[in-house]
Amino acid sequence: MYSRLIGFLLITVGMALFAPLAITQQKVTSPEEYFGFQLGSDRNMARWDKIVDYYYLLEKESDKLKIINMGPSTEGNPFLVVIISSPENLTNLKRLQKINAKISDPRGIEESEIGKLVKEGRAVICQSMSLHATEIGGTQMAPELTYDLITRNDEETQRILDNVVFFLIPCFNPDGQIMVTDWYRKTVGTEYEGVGLPWLYHKYVGHDNNRDGDFLNMIESVYAAKIMYREWIPQAYVDHHHMGSYGARLYVPPYSEPIRPYADPLIWREHSWYGAHIAYKLEEAGKAGILNAAQYPGWGHFGWHWITPFHNIAGMLTESASANLATPIYIHPDQLQGGARQFPEYEAQTTFPDPWPGGWWTLRDIVEQQYIAAWALLDLAARNKETVLWNAYLKAKRQTERGAKGTPKAYVISSAQHDHLTAIKMVNTLMLSGIEIKQAQKEFVAEGTIYPEGSFIISLAQPKMGLIRNLLGRTHYADNSWTRDKDGVPLRPYDLATHNMNEFMGVSVDPIKELAEGDFLILTDAVPTIGKVEVSDGNAGYRFDGRLNASFKAMNLLLDKGVKVWRIDQSVSGLLPGDFIIANEPKSILQDVANQTGVDFAALGDDLNAKTHEVKRMRTAMYQRYMGGNMDEGWTRFVLEQFSFPYQSIMDGEIKKGNLNAKYDVIILPDDSTAMITGERQGESEYRRSRTSYPPEYRSGIGEEGVQALKAFIENGGTLVTFGESCNFAIDKISLNVRNVVADTNPKEFFCPGSTLKVTFDNNHPLAYGMPSEGLVLFSSSPAFVISPSQHNERYETIVRYIDKDILRSGWLIGEKHLSKKAAMVSAQYGNGQVVLIGFRTQHRSQTHGTYKLLFNALIH
């Protein structure tokens, strides 16, 4: 206390002495003055609303930062991008943006001009904070970083402001930040202080907001893509995270092995280059426990730091050891351990020269190390601005050249698709990523195939070649000594083994070896989808296409308006099982639905003579739990809302009470383990239990009562739909005569981590109406089924089945014989109801549009 007071006096005296010099400088409020405590101090967290006000205050007080409010988050909180640079650069942003655009896409520009642009331009650097809302350090650190950048007058700071335009995303998940702050404040001082949030830290997706850099389903992702993929392509990007508490104190770039193909090689060198400076500055500052080139492989998911390298951005991450939110954690030396991938022991190694010895670990430690890391990135870019820009040019140029020379040369997306509206959705998503797409104004021929007018062609001779290859090309995950241990056991990839967009979406994309000639126009805006309503002269009504996902939205909108809808149950001329039929409704109603969905309404002749049934929408319940929430549950809600399916969330208490048939016809169990559903939680690691000792009201599990209530629900005519792992729950607890054939396989014999596999769909069965006869499903830790012999084999039906051989499309599959001809989706009658087991990921992360209909069909009758 005493020494602090002295310090305060000295500063006051200092300010008084130099006051005449500082007279032109407006006072800038420090974070400590504003928030009333030092950010990162124990048991304190600043809340996003207050932080937003602070940035706006700084914008008033300083001419070195500018705020862009990108718009509301999912739940209506502001999503900010703060641009920090010299006042000159900030007034010149339009020109700098233009220069940056030319360097990032130098097609048609002379190299001599690039040389001039590199001199005139500024390095564009982006860093984002606390995407994962429980990883609170970044957002708490950023105000201090901002304040220092705009108030320090030393040469280093000036160099950064002069040479760098810094795009700071101070909070990538505003909604989650608020949830976590409020939760933490509620628990401080109780026995649950520092325990994680019992539910998802986002309305829908929680941790999976870092799996959305490709499909851009969330509005926060759309904002980030606008800045990073289209308006500004930064040269480097760092996303600041936290990891577990018991390993290194901080992971910094580069990544470890293996690396994903098709990025420019300079990217991987840049990771090492920036990472070395970051690590060097941390060692210089005496920070112990800094690790690089380990743990996080260069082949991960398509979250932000992992997808940006394919946009030619040096995309990186840092990972700080976690405290218990803002509560310090004590770590004994013998609790410290190495981790996966090139960090085998908690011992000194070249990439970890100074092991941290253990002791108290606090939020302030995290804030300080992240501050140094963030500053070091800006510092290195500022010192080497021209190199950074020149290499950005080289990456873009060389990727374009590789695309022009390589095979394939382009991908064609025919407008003749099983579900052409989903194909357009894919095209529009790729547009959000800044990929150049051309649309054919007339039909054209490529490699002997005639593509109709309106088809799309994506040339690989463009800077984002690597991204396009990864999203649209068939991919095989590496099977080599980086991906198997010394005994040959395959190592699980960090995420899925493929992220192929068109395979997930059920869109057919053709690679072509030579560029096609034709009349093409570069798309500048999203492709509109407005459906047509034919003039009907008969009285038989209209048909809309059961093969389109969007038709289910149309169906829901019509049912909401009280319009009766039927489905065709047999093939008749021009109609397929699953096609939707309505009576001769007023054109205005239909046109409104056609505008919203893109679905066409075709007039029927007078003589429709097919078997039909009236569509009844089932009262659907979506099971939701606490214990941190379940992302698959959130994503399922998101998908249902996108397609206007009504649903209710249902939790343990309501299930346990029973009498479920009174309110619901269908209950969906998202992908989850039996232990999490029942609450038995066997086999859970000590570490996880210690992290999830939630207050009793947030410990979930339906228990034996819940199992009995679900059984009664099905026996009385209800439908239970289970996704992925929760099929095991249904098999075990509802006692179905079905066996999961890959339940106990040895990974050397059978291994399939997140891959697309070939199947056949029984599209004459109402559960597979609208599906093609064959296609792809996403397998990810999925069960596969055989029906066990019993007296009641007739009660079981296989809706989707793996094909015989060459099952793998993209990803990694060892031991395909285990899946050969096995059932992938089974419907089982049980009492008066049924259980629908969907083993694969029918709606994975709102990405697998190709299999949505299997879910939708289960929600109607």
Binding-site ranges for Zn ion (CB under 5 A):
132, 135, 241
- Shortest Cβ 749–Zn ion spacing (Å): 33
Asked whether 326 and 373 are in contact (CB, 8 A), the reply is no
Of the pair 208, 264, the CB lying nearest Zn ion is at 208
- Shortest Cβ 370–Zn ion spacing (Å): 12
Phi, psi of 456 (to 5 degrees): -115, 150
Count the neighbouring beta carbons within 10 Å of the beta carbon of residue 841: 24
Torsion, Cα of 233, 234, 235, 241 (10° steps): -130
Of the pair 241, 567, the CB lying nearest Zn ion is at 241
Of the pair 242, 499, the CB lying nearest Zn ion is at 242
Of the pair 458, 496, the CB lying nearest Zn ion is at 496
- Shortest Cβ 430–Zn ion spacing (Å): 26
Burial of 184 (0-12, 13-18, 19+ CB in 10 A): buried
- Shortest Cβ 135–Zn ion spacing (Å): 5
Of the pair 241, 691, the CB lying nearest Zn ion is at 241
- The H or E element that residue 588 is part of is helix 587-597
DSSP 8-state code for residue 226: I
Count the neighbouring beta carbons within 10 Å of the beta carbon of residue 526: 13
- Which residues have C-beta within 8 Å of that of residue 383, sequence separation ≥ 6? 159, 163
- Shortest Cβ 492–Zn ion spacing (Å): 18
As a whole number of angstroms, the distance between CA 45 and CA 27 comes to 25
- Shortest Cβ 168–Zn ion spacing (Å): 18
- Shortest Cβ 241–Zn ion spacing (Å): 3
Q: What is the strand order of the sheet 78-84 is part of?
A: 65-72, 78-84, 164-169, 123-129, 236-243, 314-321, 250-252, 290-292
Of the pair 71, 244, the CB lying nearest Zn ion is at 244
Of the pair 142, 650, the CB lying nearest Zn ion is at 142
- Shortest Cβ 301–Zn ion spacing (Å): 11
Distances in Å between the Cα of 651 and the Cα atoms of 262, 622, 626, 658, 731 are 45, 8, 9, 12, 21
Helix axes 549-560, 420-432, angle to 10 degrees: 100
As a whole number of angstroms, the distance between CA 324 and CA 328 comes to 6
- Shortest Cβ 156–Zn ion spacing (Å): 29
* Burial annotation 73-97 (CB, 10 A radius, 16+ → b, else e): bbeebbbbbbbbbbeebbebbeebe
Count the neighbouring beta carbons within 10 Å of the beta carbon of residue 558: 23
Of the pair 102, 241, the CB lying nearest Zn ion is at 241
**DSSP per residue, 338-385:** -BTTTB-SSS-BTTB-S----EEE-HHHHHHHHHHHHHHHHHHHHHTH
* DSSP-based helix, strand, coil % in the chain, nearest 5: 35, 20, 40
- Shortest Cβ 700–Zn ion spacing (Å): 23
Of the pair 211, 385, the CB lying nearest Zn ion is at 211
Of the pair 176, 490, the CB lying nearest Zn ion is at 176
As a whole number of angstroms, the distance between CA 302 and CA 211 comes to 5
- Shortest Cβ 317–Zn ion spacing (Å): 8
For 237, the token pair is 């990007």
Distances in Å between the Cα of 804 and the Cα atoms of 567, 746, 819, 823 are 32, 21, 8, 11
Nearest to 769 by CA among 575, 637, 597, 603: 575
**DSSP per residue, 442-499:** S-EEETTEEE-TT-EEEES-STTHHHHHHHHS--B---STTTB-TTSPBPPPSS-S--
- Which residues have C-beta within 8 Å of that of residue 292, sequence separation ≥ 6? 251, 252, 253, 254, 275, 276, 278, 279, 351, 352
Of the pair 132, 464, the CB lying nearest Zn ion is at 132
As a whole number of angstroms, the distance between CA 182 and CA 162 comes to 39
Of the pair 141, 639, the CB lying nearest Zn ion is at 141
Phi, psi of 362 (to 5 degrees): -125, 165
Of the pair 210, 391, the CB lying nearest Zn ion is at 210
- Shortest Cβ 193–Zn ion spacing (Å): 22
- Shortest Cβ 797–Zn ion spacing (Å): 42
Distances in Å between the Cα of 460 and the Cα atoms of 409, 420, 439, 502 are 6, 23, 15, 16
Of the pair 367, 594, the CB lying nearest Zn ion is at 367
The amino acid at 289:
G
Q: What angle do CA 67, 71, 74 make, to 5 degrees?
A: 135
Of the pair 132, 853, the CB lying nearest Zn ion is at 132
Distances in Å between the Cα of 593 and the Cα atoms of 216, 532, 564, 709 are 25, 10, 14, 39
Of the pair 377, 599, the CB lying nearest Zn ion is at 377
Asked whether 710 and 734 are in contact (CB, 8 A), the reply is yes
Write the secondary structure of 82-147 as one string of H (helix), E (strand) and C (coil): EEECCHHHHHCHHHHHHHHHHHHCCCCCCHHHHHHHHHHCCEEEEEEECCCCCCCHHHHHHHHHHH
For 290, the token pair is 């800094």
- Shortest Cβ 304–Zn ion spacing (Å): 10
Of the pair 320, 842, the CB lying nearest Zn ion is at 320
- Shortest Cβ 240–Zn ion spacing (Å): 9
Of the pair 322, 470, the CB lying nearest Zn ion is at 322
